[in-house]
Structure 1
Amino acid sequence: MMIDITEDKPHFPYFFFFLLQDDSWEIWNSFRLLCEHHSQLSVALDVLNSLPSANSLGRWFGESVRAAIISTDCFLTNARGYPCLSKRHQKLVSGFFNHSIQIVLSGEPVHSLPRINSDLAANNNDNNVDGVQKHPLRPYLDYVGYLYQRMDPLPEQERFELGYRDFLQSPLQPLMDNLEAQTYETFEKDTMKYIQYQRAICKALQDRVPDDKASSVTTVLMVVGAGRGPLVRASLQAAEETGRKLKVYAVEKNPNAVVTLHSLVKLEGWENIVSIISSDMRYWDAPEKADILVSELLGSFGDNELSPECLDGAQRLLKDDGISIPSSYTSFIQPVTASKLYNDVKSHKDVAHFETAYVVKLHNIARLAPPQPVFTFIHPNRSTDKSNNRYTKLQFGVSSDTGSAMIHGFAGYFDAVLYKEVHLGIEPSTSTPNMFSWFPIFFPLRTPISLHPGSSLEVHFWRCCRPSKVWYEWSVTSPSSSPIHNTNGRSYWVGL
């Protein structure tokens, strides 16, 4: 079969049909490679009554699947004589629904209607009820509709994030750029994040000041990067909850946010407790040192919004035995199949977009291996080596029952320890529920990597620092080698 797919043709999707069995992905991948990952290629899966492993099926959710054809042969018969699907088929169909994959029913009816309906059909001129001719596959359609209707509704957070699914965004640069009011407005609504911060501050206050000195000792707390004041509010609520006395310095460099901070302090009557400092935390000369230093400088990859550089600069404001909240954070990556994201990056037709990290609400992806830790930063940083340059080499193995897979890039996450057992993060296995301040980060590969069963993926990540900028570089060296992406920060960097 020869198909002419050229850029000057109308952009309609090309559908190709594959039996959903163990080697069908190999056939699809070979065809895709022949077509140079053309963005208009789409797949229709022919679902059989026998399914491959769950990991093998999972690969397809990162591909451009538009339809799933389910034959009547796949259906079982329930106790009432109606068609139904096995638990594994039900789970697969729910996955199709969740990824907006169209369900197509095919084949001849293999189930007889229960007798009551058969008699009704006979009395109404051979399956003509109330003058409406029923399709012979209607019982199967009704069952698929039933599966759709019984799905749990999306949580409010997921409904809010629907428009962001698989939409590539440039990460914020709050140190180099002043955030807009709308950005603050969005993040300040993340109740769960500030609940966790308040819990951490409560524990820190209780450890810092014993109960018998609660009324006599005043704790100095500095919120560095105070924004429009949600962490100030969380700190004061923690002080009230624990019965501790507090003196707060709210340090913020964004002049627009400082105006809002002044209004908040006046409105809440905090003038005798909160001092507002309009300054970059790295250069402010404080009149006294802090017992507790609180910040929310974390990005989707933990350190990608320059929390290490900011907190290292602000560490001189903290007492030698002082507490930093957060006390540590670790970044994570995992290899993913992400056909849509890859094609979106590819559409720009340049190297720079393949060397940029994106914030994205991941949805149409296949996670091929568990995440692994990349870089960890601890605060306060008592190390004699103050460099924030980092390098790590990681090896990922794909489960043997997955089969071959295509790696389009890496999903990145973080997990932070705020204080002791109180943590905050988006790493899937430990993610904080009902929190929306961070979407994962995505590091694309210029050329996708094919990974065969039994082989391992070796990836290298660098965090590079210069006086004016910080950037990441990444490369794959096994099973095949890729170029080092973003050499010397030529395409993507974060400004200091």
Structure 2
Amino acid sequence: MESSNNMGDMPVFYVGQHESKRSVPVSEHVLQQAQDCNYDMLTTPITTSHFHSRVLTLLSSYQAEIEAGTPGSDLPMPLLLAVTSPWIDLASPDPVIASLSLQVFNQEIAYAAFCGVGNVIIQGPSLHSIYSGQGLPQYARAIQEALDVGPYLNLQVLLPMTGDPSWDDSSAVMGHLGPFARSEYLQVGAEEQRHEEKPTLSLPRHLPAVSLQSRWCSEPLRLLVLPGSSFLENKLGYPVLSKPNQAFIARCMRLKTPPWLLLSDVGPIPGLNDPDSLVPVADGYLSASAAADAGDIQSPSPTPAEAGRQQHQKHTSKIKNDPTPHLSYIRYLQRNQPPKSLIERFGSGYQDYLQSPLQPLTDNLESITYEVFEKDPIKYEWYERAIAHALRDWKAQDKSASSTSGAVVVAVVGAGRGPLVTRTLRASETTGVAIEAWAVEKNPNAYVLLQRHNEDTWKRQVTVVKSDMRAWKGPHREDGTYGKVDILVSELLGSFADNELSPECLDGVQHVLNPEHGISIPSSYTAHLTPIAAPRLHTDIIHRLPSDPQAFDLPYVVMLHAIDFLSTKAAPPAPPQDLSQQTKSRRKTCPPLTTRNNLSRMSSRPGNSRIRFPRNPRAIAPPPRGQRRRRRWGSDRRGWRERAQCALLADAVPVPAQWGKVELSTNPVTMESKSKDMISWFPIFFPLKTPMYLPDGAEVEVSMWRQTDDRKVWYEWLVEAFVELGGRRVRLGISEMHSSKKSGCLM
């Protein structure tokens, strides 16, 4: 079925064509013909077969150096992807082969840079080098040297998605240098069954586990190579992709920077022999039968029946007049991508974009900042439900109100531009419970706007007060005294529940709450912590270091997208902490992450938690100053990890269950069921200066401190990695102590 989506709401597919056996450089005619067929780009070899022959001749005579080869092309290449020679072996253990390969490679890189090529595809190291680890440092050094030779080139290393030996076809490449390595340099031994992954993929017919797919999606992918062998045939003989492959492509095309697609060995560019022939454009308008799925086929290579249908496919293609069926199918997928969700549409441009947390306590926010929050379609609706539940409960229990008129006193503290005030008035109207509304806001500019709303929209039903909530004495009465508030409403939750200093703010306004049966909305909130792999974010912070040396000592608010969770076992939701006991003044202890509605002062419990949690995510509450909270996770058994970072997610509960539970959540485990499509709070990201290497089954232990010196609040964090060997718990590594003190939130 054709999609009716707006084309502007669809991801753009940039599709190229690659022939692994192409030995002749692409001409202007070939490039034009490819464009006429609706290809966006082509690959071209940098050198010719004549150059390859000369190298083999020199190798046979053991000459150490090579002369300059015949260059491939002098065309301008804005639409071309250069491909280095597939027959070299940069990771060879034989120094002669390695040296010869490096010289060829550097000459190709230099010539590609001279021709103005923007992107160069490089064959990755052999699977033997990956498995054994031998040659990988040598290969990495060659890539580093190439970046010096062509500093403006984008080098894209081509590797398989999995360690399938069928991908390693170096022996099938005519004249490959690998087999010429001398026996004394070859080590034969057991191969390790794990390998490091690099960020350019060749998709197999059958994808690996979803966990490994997620790992790849966290990498900065630039190209997805779709070999002809990854396609299946449907009942009509048309080439199609399996449903898992379709889903993976759709996921990749939702990334902030979608990868290009490269069709490999799916047939030559049509019409090259007859320049006057009319070639149909692959526009993606296929019938339902032509694009129908092929079903579940488990064979790793074409069966005899599949092979027999290949001739039928060619015949069918001719009948349907489609000389590029693979490209037509990819364009069909492009036209029928699922529509973007509400969060994806709102988050366009915010994905993986690092932002410093807001400081509304010390900074006066701009109108545009308030406007972004007010676009949330869920949060304010849920707040209205919570307030309505509280008002109905108040009426049902016949509670006494704090006003002289008998109306329930409701105060919105930190009112901003007034969206919660509007929702409060609406809840009063729908429940039939009379209220006395107050709006408290310290921002002088927002205060002016609140006064206008009160005149034009709220019909003077609200008393607007310009004051820091901590200094507000409560509703002012005619006799000069100050009353109490029955329902206190705020939205100072932040990304880590307390990173915007909501405990400090709410603690300072608790004295106005009715001590007998006052209600705080939200009544409680809980923060969650989980370790993640985030290579893109780590690279982004590295780029910030020249202008901001403290870049790795800051937590960031970010709409996490291209990440991978390191521990994904299911966990039951953690209940908010019961903090019904009073302790010392908040100024002498760090506030907790949970507030209760009846307290005149927020409280915290001391302690040093050292519980092992092999689940994700887990609740964590900052301890009193000078102590720490510790949580542990077990990493999934799904391949070696080369990077580990730490992200913190908030899970907020605005009202208790007795009023009809209303919950807001940014926790990925519970967000779908509690507050789907909520966009107000992005998670907070705590980076590590040096990524940690985590093998299968390793334990990650995170220690968090929330510190204060009575002037500002900051976080400190440290990560440790452990593994169990011979019944002993051995530390693999420990991160530096990170501290955001220099950029702490001022009180």
TM range (shorter): 0.7 to 0.9
- Establish whether residue 237 from structure 1 lines up as the match of residue 426 from structure 2: yes
- Residue of structure 1 aligned with 2:593, choices 373, 376, 397: 376
Taking structure 1 as reference, are residues 319 and 23 closer, same or farther at Cα in structure 2, changes over 3 Å only? farther
285, 299, 310: which one aligns with 2:505: 310
Give the C-alpha shift of residue 152 in structure 1: 1.0
Question: What amino acid maps onto 1:310 in structure 2?
Answer: C
- 2:414–2:491 contact (8 Å) kept in structure 1: yes
**In 2, Cα distance between equivalents of 1:27 and 1:306:** 44
Quote the Cα distance in structure 2 between the aligned partners of 1:157 and 1:51.
27
Q: Hey, what does 1:363 align to over in structure 2?
A: 561
How far apart are residue 303 of structure 1 and its match? 0.7
- What is the aligned-residue RMSD (CA, Å)? 2.8
Q: Distance in 1 between matches of 2:146 and 2:736?
A: 28
Shift of 1:154: 1.0
Q: How far, CA to CA, are the matches of 2:746 and 2:506 in structure 1?
A: 15
Q: Deviations over 1:8-60 (max 9, x none)?
A: 9624322111111159996445xxxxxxxxxxxx7321222243221122101
The aligned residue for residue 95 of structure 2 is none
CA deviation after TM superposition for structure 1 residue 447, in Å? 0.4
In the alignment, does 2:609 pair up with 1:414?
no
Note the alpha carbon deviations across 1:81-112, whole angstroms, 9 max, x for none.
11222222222222232231222121356734
Alignment partner for residue 396 of structure 1, among 608, 629, 633?
633
Match of 1:442 in 2: 685
Q: Tell me if structure 2 keeps the 8 A contact 1:253–1:281.
A: yes
Separation in 2 of the partners of 1:430 and 1:385?
26
Q: How does 1:107-122 map to 2 (within 5 A)?
A: 107=265, 111-114=310-313, 117=316, 120=319
Q: Is 1:280 aligned to residue 531 of structure 2?
A: no
Give CA deviations for 1:198-250 in whole Å, capped at 9, x if unaligned: 00000111112228789984101111111121111111111111100100121
- 2:551 counterpart (333, 337, 353): 353
Alpha-carbon displacement from aligned partner over 1:155-202 (angstroms, at most 9, x marks no partner): 344223211222111111100100111112222232321111100000
Shift, 1:6, TM fit: 6.0
Counterpart of 2:161 in structure 1 is 20
Indicate whether 1:71 and 2:227 are aligned.
Answer: yes
Give distance in 1, aligned partners of 2:209 and 2:375.
41
1:292 aligned residue: 487
**Residue 270 of structure 1: CA displacement?**
3.5
Q: Secondary structure of 1:436's match?
A: coil
Give identity over the alignment, percent: 39
**Which residue matches 2:531?**
335
- Tell me: CA distance 1:119–1:220, structure 2 relative to 1, closer, same or farther (3 Å): closer
SS across alignment from 2:715: strand
Note if contact 1:62-1:338 (Cα within 8 Å) is conserved in structure 2.
Answer: yes
Deviation (angstroms), 1:385: 4.6
Stretch of structure 1 that moved more, 255-264 or 64-73:
64-73
Residue 706 of structure 2 corresponds to residue 493 of structure 1: no
* Match in the other structure for 1:155: 341
**What is the identity, as a one-letter code, of the residue corresponding to 2:634?**
G
Query: In 1, Cα distance between the equivalents of 2:426 and 2:634?
Result: 46
CA offsets, 1:50-88, max 9 Å, x none?
Answer: 432211221011112111212211222211111222222
Q: 1:394 to 1:351 in 2, by over 3 A?
A: farther
Q: Would the aligned equivalents of 1:17 and 1:44 in 2 still touch at CA under 8 Å?
A: yes
Given that 1:59 and 1:405 are in contact with CA atoms closer than 8 Å, whether structure 2 keeps it comes out as no
Cα separation, 1, equivalents of 2:648 and 2:555: 9
Q: Are 2:424 and 1:187 equivalent residues in the alignment?
A: no
What is the match of residue 125 of structure 1? none
Q: Provide, for residues 107-157 of structure 1, a one-character-per-residue CA deviation record: whole Å limited to 9, x for no partner.
A: 356734548645648xxxxxxx5xxxx65xx22222222223222111344
Structure 2 contact 503–602 (Cα < 8 Å) conserved: no
CA deviations over 1:320-358 (Å, ceiling 9, x no partner): 121100011111222222211111101123651001111
Maintained 8 Å contact 2:194/2:640: yes
Which residue of structure 1 aligns with residue 128 of structure 2?
none
CA distance in 2 between partners of 1:326 and 1:407 (Å)? 37
- Asked if 1:101 corresponds to 2:259, the answer is yes
- Name the CA distance, whole Å, in 2 between partners of 1:116 and 1:47: 27
CA contact (8 A) 1:415 1:424 kept: yes
Q: 1:491 deviation in Å?
A: 3.7
Distance 1:154 1:90, change over 3 A: same
The one-character-per-residue Cα deviations of 1:377-429 (angstroms, maximum 9, x if unpaired) are 123346655997553211122222x2122334222221111112111121112
Aligned to 2:735: 482
Higher strand share: 1
Instruction: In structure 2, give the amino acid aligned to 1:396.
Output: W
2:720 is matched by which residue type in structure 1? T
Task: Give the Cα separation in 1 of the matches to 2:453 and 2:370.
Answer: 14
How far the C-alpha of 1:5 sits from its partner, in A, is 5.6
Q: Is the 8 A contact 1:413 1:441 kept in 2?
A: yes
Offset from partner CA, 1:294-327 (integer Å, 9 cap, x none): 0011111111101111111110010112110001
CA gap of 1:355–1:269, structure 2 versus 1, over 3 A, is closer
Give the paired residue count: 467
Contact 1:389/1:464 (<8 A) preserved: no
Q: Flag the 1:19–1:277 CA change in 2: closer, same or farther, 3 A.
A: same
User: What secondary structure does 1:477 align onto?
Assistant: strand
Aligned to 2:184: none
Confirm or deny: 8 A CA contact 1:426 1:440 kept in the other structure.
yes
CA contact (8 A) 1:329 1:415 kept: yes
- Residues in 2 aligned to 1:112 and 1:83: alpha-carbon distance in whole angstroms: 12
1:258 to 423, 431, 447: 447
Higher relative contact order (CA 8 A, sep 6+): 1
**1:429 partner letter:** V
Gaps of 5+ in 2: 1-89, 91-141, 166-192, 268-306, 475-481, 577-591, 607-621, 723-732
The question of whether the paired residues in 2 share the 8 Å contact of 1:311 and 1:379 is answered with no
Contact conserved, 1:389 with 1:465, CA < 8 A, in 2? no
Greater displacement, 146-155 / 412-421: 146-155
Distance in 1 separating the partners of 2:530 and 2:153: 33
Query: Which of residues 400, 418, 435 is equivalent to 1:246?
Result: 435
Q: Distance in 2 between matches of 1:85 and 1:410?
A: 36
Post-superposition offset of 1:278? 0.8
Partner residue of 1:62?
Answer: 218
SS at match of 2:199: strand
Distance in 2, Cα, partners of 1:368 & 1:246: 49
Deviation larger for 211-220 or 446-455: 211-220
Q: 1:179 to 1:384 in 2, by over 3 A?
A: closer
Closer, same or farther: CA 284–79 of 1 in aligned 2, 3 Å: same
Find the counterpart in structure 1 of residue 676 from structure 2.
433
- TM-score, length-normalised on structure 1? 0.87
Letter in 1 for 2:208: P
Amino acid at match of 2:443: N
Local SS of the residue matching 2:743: coil
1:319 is aligned to 514
What is the CA–CA distance in structure 1 between the aligned matches of 2:358 and 2:744, rounded to whole Å?
A: 11
Residue identity in the other structure for 1:416: A
Partners of 1:418 and 1:339 in 2: how far apart? Answer: 34
Q: C-alpha separation between the residues in 2 aligned to 1:306 and 1:8?
A: 50
- Take 2:602 and 2:317, find their aligned partners in 1: how far apart are those partners? 80
Identify if the C-alpha distance between structure 1 residues 253 and 5 changes in structure 2 by more than 3 Å, giving closer, same or farther: farther
